[in-house]
Each structure stands twice: as structure tokens, then as C-alpha cells.
Amino acid sequence: MNFYIIIPAHNEQDFIGMTLESLSNQTLLPKKVVVVNDHSSDATQEIVSKFAKQHSWISLVNTTSFDAHVPGSKIINAFYKGFETLDANYDVICKFDADLIFPNNYLEQLASHFKNNEKLGMASGFCYIKKNSDWILENLTNKDHIRGALKSYKKDCFLEIGKLKPSMGWDTVDELLAKFYGWDILTDASLQVKHLKPTGISYNKASKYLQGEAMYKMRYGLVITLISAIKLAYKKSSLGLFKDYLVGYFKAKKHKIDFLVTEEEGKFIRDLRWKGMLNKLK
């Protein structure tokens, strides 16, 4: 199975080497890995270049956007800079973060899952973060959700969902659209990926309203947005985030920002969200 991997990277000199090393040690090697060096001011470019000289399947793309780490658009725009350099001979396309250490059997295990289920559209392991001397589950989302840090898509699914949306919420709407089109999603708890830099550590203040904006753009509606905002704020132990999410939602509604999904897709998403919440209550 041909795995193509794209890794957006901005000032990742402390981590990118370990990520590429773990990929070079896979029992099933990727066919291509593209690291998109997005305006780094550290040694990211030099480190990636060294690996590219050692492995013909690793390449480097340099691009310039802006310094601030805004979740969503910056990362996905960088992803597409890498995607543009690839041919179409992939079976699975991956968007990985630049601060991950994968177990050696990671890609081989994903390939097995994809081969065993023709309707499997997306698959992943789980992110673990270091706390004291232990690696513990980075428990920010439901266990059936694939984290944005380690997305892997079967080619047909990737194309049918319209690829990736350059917006906050891209790593939620992709799964919702995959389900809309009848694809299965799998998370494998046996695949424990070390996440070296916890999610959100470098987000800037301007990004705090974007989660609420994303809920509007996914056509959640007010009630589901309220419930989702409470849940996210609780998981991140910050009640202030609840207010930020709602401000972002109402700002997007006031300015009539374009939706990420059609009305039909939005209805499916709302129904799916209600079904999930009702099942939890039961």
C-alpha cells in the first residue's frame, strides 16, 4: 500500500528529526514524505534537508505564510503546498504533525486495517503526552475521533469529502463528511503515538474565537454549539473558553461567514451529533 505523508512544519527543530526518524524505522516504509517548512526561523530546514539526503522518499518544500500559529487555515494551506508536489499514485494520504514519534508498526497496521475493510475511509492511533515520567493518553476528544495531528485517508474517501478544508474545524468536518458519504472511521488503541508538544501550546490569542466560528460553519446550530462549547471548555479546564466559543459563533453568524458544508450535509451532521449525545445519556 502506497502511503504519501505531508508534514507541515513551523519552527520544529526540537521535534522534526524524531518524527522523521520514526518514519524511517517503519516496518512498512512510506512511499513519499513531504515536509513543508512554513517560514521557520530555526534549524527546521537544515534538519529536514539532512534526512532528505539520506532517504530518497523524503523531500522538503519551503513556503512563507506568516509567523502566528493560527489553527486551521495556516496548517492546511501548508498541507496543500506539499500536496501540489505529489503525483496521484497513492493509496493513503496522511497529514501528520511535525512533533510525533510513531511506533515502528504504525503504517503497516494502518495498511492492514484499510485492506481488511474496503469501506474504511480514515484510520489512526492515539496521541500520548508525557506527564512526569509516564506517557498518558492526550484525552481531549472522544476516542472514536481521529486527532488532527495524525490523519490518514484512503484515497477515494479523501477525494469524495472534497479533500481538506482550510479552516478551523477541518479535522472534525472531514470525519462528519466521511460518515455522510458512508465511510467507516477507525481508531486503533494499540497504536500509541508520542505527541511531543501538547495540542494548542503555540496557539495565539487571535485563534480563541475560531472554534466557535467553526461550529457555525459546520451548521451545528445554537443548541449543539452550546453543548459542544461546554464540553470543550470542561475538557480544557477553562470556563473562559466557553465564552470565547460563543463569541466566535455569533460573530460568524453576524457576518454570515461561508459554511463549510451544504444544507443537506449540515442536517446530517446535526442529526449525527444529536444521536451521539442521546446515546451517551442512555
In this structure, are 76 and 107 located in the same domain?
A: yes
- Segments forming the whole domain that contains residue 89: 3-195
In this structure, are 145 and 61 located in the same domain?
A: yes
Pairing, β 92-96 against β 150-154:
antiparallel
In this structure, are 141 and 19 located in the same domain?
A: yes
Pairing, β 134-137 against β 120-131:
antiparallel
In this structure, are 191 and 213 located in the same domain?
A: no
Grid cell at residue 36: 513543508
Q: Please report whether residue 202 resides in a domain.
A: no
In this structure, are 187 and 113 located in the same domain?
A: yes
In this structure, are 29 and 72 located in the same domain?
A: yes
pTM of full prediction above 0.95: no
Task: Domain count for the chain, please give it.
Answer: 2
Burial zone of 39 (CB within 10 Å; 0-12 exposed, 13-18 middle, 19+ buried): middle
CB 28 within 8 A of CB 91: no
DSSP annotation of 166 reads S
In this structure, are 50 and 133 located in the same domain?
A: yes
Q: Which of 87, 82, 65 is nearest to 74 (CA)?
A: 65
In this structure, are 189 and 261 located in the same domain?
A: no
Q: Please report whether residue 10 resides in a domain.
A: yes
Rounded Cα distance between 167 and 170, Å, is 6
In this structure, are 45 and 179 located in the same domain?
A: yes
In this structure, are 187 and 226 located in the same domain?
A: no
Q: Please report whether residue 200 resides in a domain.
A: no
How many Å separate Cα 90 from the centre of its chain?
19
Q: Please report whether residue 203 resides in a domain.
A: no
pLDDT (tens place) for every residue of the chain, 282 residues total = 999 999 999 999 999 999 999 999 999 999 999 999 998 999 999 999 999 999 999 999 999 875 555 567 889 999 999 999 999 999 999 999 999 999 999 999 999 999 999 999 999 999 999 988 899 998 766 788 999 999 999 999 999 999 999 998 999 999 999 999 999 999 999 999 999 987 655 555 557 788 899 999 999 999 999 999 998 888 777 888 899 999 999 999 999 999 999 999 999 999 999 998 888 776
CB 44 within 8 A of CB 11: yes
In this structure, are 147 and 217 located in the same domain?
A: no
Give the torsion through C-alpha atoms of 184, 188, 189, 193, to 10 deg: -120
Q: Please report whether residue 152 resides in a domain.
A: yes
In this structure, are 74 and 21 located in the same domain?
A: yes
Core vs surface per residue 207-232: b (16+ CB within 10 A) or e: bbbbbbbbbbbbbbbeebbbebbeeb
- Boundary (domain end) residue, out of 195, 230, 258: 195
| CATH number, residue 147 | 3.90.550.10
